[in-house]
Amino acid sequence: MSDARHHVVVVGAGFGGLEFTRALARVPVRITMIDKRNHHLFQPLLYQVATTALATSEVAWPIRHLLRKRKDVTTLLANVTGVDRAGKRVLLDDGSTVAYDTLVLATGARHAYFGHDEWEPFAPGLKTLEDATTIRRRILLAFEQAEREPDPARRQALLTIAIVGGGPTGVELAGTIAELAHDTLRGEFRNIDTRQTRVVLIEAGDRILANFAPTLSNYAGKALERLGVVVELGRAVTRCDAEGVVFGDTVLPARTILWAAGVAASPAAEWLGAKADRAGRVLVEPDLSVPGSPEIFVIGDAALVLRPDGRPVPGVAPSAKQEGRHVAATVKARLAGDTSPRPFHYKHAGDLATIGKRAAAIDFGWIKLTGWLAWWLWGIAHIYFLIGFRNRLAVSLSWLWIYVTGQRSARLITQGDDDKS
């Protein structure tokens, strides 16, 4: 028996796709949610999985569980390979298709290596749970291998961790890894002193946290230096391989390299045959629809959305959620017969970055905070946006334990062999 209700297909269960689906509750439509993974990921805390502070189950939740009470939503675990705009169908990798009346692409972003994809095996990025556990494995294995390495130069290379990119992810990784090496692991090895670990943050620009006010960038740099992080500015990386990284005229032997320097949009523009910017983001209309296809919307990291001053809307969770709610309101209006233009207006909620377990920088524009108070506000904000009381409680207790004792409980080496470690 066919279902005559308007069919909305959502590709991607990230912040934007999930917020859109929630906002469309109690609307007479049927929704199909498609994602190539079975979980929704709270990406802002993913770096804490990579640095042994949190377990994977504390930052990710099964999509089916989140939508279990929504009888209007069907969830499909599938990999999208294209979109037939003329036939209004989503193409899946098994050869099947899903027809739609309205399509919302919320497919996120992937790593960008600025034309050097060959660097990826040596410098993994951080976008998925698999990325986080891979990075965690490499960091922990570096210490284990250093414990057994008799050659001083090779041992120091194993105890050198290079992070490429001085944005919030790079800064947060650098601070947390420094604390892991200099505090958490101290005294646990017999042949090495983990306090000799070098954490080097490499940024091609003239300051870290470039989207923050300069005073906050300076604060973050000094806070990292107090943790023992070496901050290198003004020199772009020109090589990454198994031996280390090259930036400017400096050759840094490092067996662990982490990539936090750039992102590229998902293949949504390729699927649609739509115009895109250099990062692959779809050039959408003011209402977030695709030019020539008003029934298709692209939101989140996959879309290029410009603010009135010409700057792009940042690729952060709050903007994706705002876009999801906006598109849901547009769909509701259209179903009610209102087809008037509905341009999207972004409201910036501020920039936040943490530096270790006792410092943070917060830029709300009208007020700027640093230090201990900023760290607590950062933590409260992130706990608030976690899903479910159990997860809020678990993360709060994990952070409290780390804050008081310096110990991190998620220090497990998992996955298979990794000869790049």
How far is it, in rounded angstroms, from Cα 102 to Cα 115? 34
DSSP string, 341-393: ----------EEEEETTTEEEEE-SS-EEEHHHHHHHHHHHHHHHSSSHHHHH
Check 172, 179, 203, 323 and give the catalytic one: 172
Instruction: Please name the helix (run of DSSP H) or strand (run of DSSP E) that holds residue 396, with its range, or none.
Output: helix 389-405
To the nearest 10°, report the CA torsion of 159, 162, 163, 165.
160
233 CB-near residues (< 8 Å, 6+ apart): 166, 203, 205, 206, 207, 208
How far is it, in rounded angstroms, from Cα 359 to Cα 329? 39
Query: Token match 């959620």: residue?
Result: 321
287 C-beta neighbours (distance < 10 Å), count: 15
> Does the active-site annotation cover 120?
no
120 CB-near residues (< 8 Å, 6+ apart): 111, 113, 259
Task: Tell how strand 282-283 and strand 303-304 pair up.
Answer: parallel
Catalytic annotation, residues? 172
